[in-house]
Amino acid sequence: MTLRRLLLLFAWVGASLLMQAATAQKPSELHAVVKTRGSKKPIQKSRDDRATSIESQQADEKPLDGRDGGDLSVHLYNPKSQLKTKVTDVKHAAFPAVNVHTHFFYRLRLNRDALEDFVGAMDRNHIAVCVSLDGKLGTQFQEQKDYLWKEHSDRFVLYANIDWRGDGASDDPATWACYRPGFAERTVEQLREAVEQGASGLKLFKRFGLGYRYPDGSLMKIDDPRWDPIWAACGELQIPVIIHTADPAAFFDPIDERNERWEELSRHPDWSFHGDEFPSREELFAARNRMIAKHPNTQFIGAHIANNPEDLATVSEWMDQYPNLWLELASRINELGRQPRAAREFLIRYQDRLLFGTDGPWPEQRLRYYWRFFETDDEAFPYSEKEPPPQGLWQIDGVNLPPKVLRKLYYENAVKLIPGVRERVEAFAKQHSLD
């Protein structure tokens, strides 16, 4: 072999070794993850033909289980409390209860066996009535009615929903029904018909402000004057409007090491509304409040404590300013229970405009956590049967409300506000010999 060929061979071998060194990166580098709000799926930067070698490298790494003082993945952190505290076994509500926030159509999907099982749980927990919020105007309202009222018309009250899209394309707001002439007037007529068929209220989902869009792509504004005839009609029909505006405060913060709901958002990154593409919580709340102020003859229910239980002082200002604003407490005992003294004071102060709700149907164990929260002064107990807890990695304390307040929260306020509730509660109380 000539010297020239030998030198070329050495050069080729050296280049090959350099290339191998450049590609022999750590698995974490090869599997860098990029997330976008559109897909929320990791984008793998490595080549498929390296997958086998990468898996073998990962298998050799020490697991992040915290054993022997080693590193611990936050997803695996599940400490066992050493507290020994009083445990009060509350098997049912102290009085008949009206659950004003449930989703039987969307959660049970017309499963009749599941419905029968939950009606049994309602009996055991003294839940006289559930308000199902899933009746989109049109055929879905009738489906919900047939499903719930065929066997249990005495236990369920139905709400309607606005069909903003109609027969339009989901990805093309310009084709939606709500942007065609006369939409508000047609919706009012549909609401009148629904009330005649048994509807007791109207539910507005959080997509109203955070999902529905104008033809130009911008988000629909809650206080858009085009929809004013609908809210005014609800007042004339004497049906309340329950409105879900915004979401927990942490959902509008960056998903980083400072976010107290990081664990939850890491599992559901699509629940995040952080960024310039969304309005702030304050902007959403202000638009909702303008809507409430503009229609004083319509009763509005702020879902999830008006979605601001982290700041009860501000919610108190709203309650003082808007006498037509009511609050329901579904899926927020996790927030109330970590500020039990302030929460108790708040619940007693506004006892005449509070409503019980759960956002269920949920497993029976979660219902019992609600009764324990409202009726005892137990400390440091779970708010959910799930592990890890789904809405913050903490436990709650009970607020031990007086019987007078419990009655109003559980059923008396709902009887005053929601058509169709009174006769159902009275029948249930008589049948079960409850006061």
Query: Pairing state of beta strands 156-161 and 199-204?
Result: parallel
Number of structural domains (the chain) is 1
Helix or strand (DSSP H, E) at 9: helix 3-23
pLDDT tens digit string along 131-188? 999 999 999 999 999 999 999 999 999 999 999 999 999 999 999 999 999 999 999 9
Q: Does 137 reside within a domain?
A: yes
pLDDT at 49 over 70: no
pLDDT at 25 over 50: no
Q: Does 393 reside within a domain?
A: yes
Q: Does 50 reside within a domain?
A: no
pLDDT given at position 419: 99
pLDDT given at position 220: 98
Q: Does 24 reside within a domain?
A: no
pLDDT at 37 over 90: no
Query: 19: pLDDT confidence band, cut at 50, 70 and 90?
Result: very low
- What domain range is 393 assigned to? 97-431
Please state, in angstroms and rounded to a whole number, the distance separating the CA atoms of residues 299 and 352: 14
Task: Compute the average pLDDT of residues 423-429.
Answer: 98
Total-model pTM: 0.86
Task: Compute the average pLDDT of residues 338-363.
Answer: 98
Q: What are the angstrom distances between the C-alpha of 308 and each of 251, 336, 360, 402?
A: 12, 11, 20, 24
pLDDT given at position 63: 86
pLDDT given at position 60: 60
Q: Does 41 reside within a domain?
A: no
Query: 82: pLDDT confidence band, cut at 50, 70 and 90?
Result: very high
| Residues in the chain, overall count | 435
Q: Does 33 reside within a domain?
A: no
pLDDT given at position 16: 45
Question: What CATH number should be reported for the domain holding residue 203?
Answer: 3.20.20.140
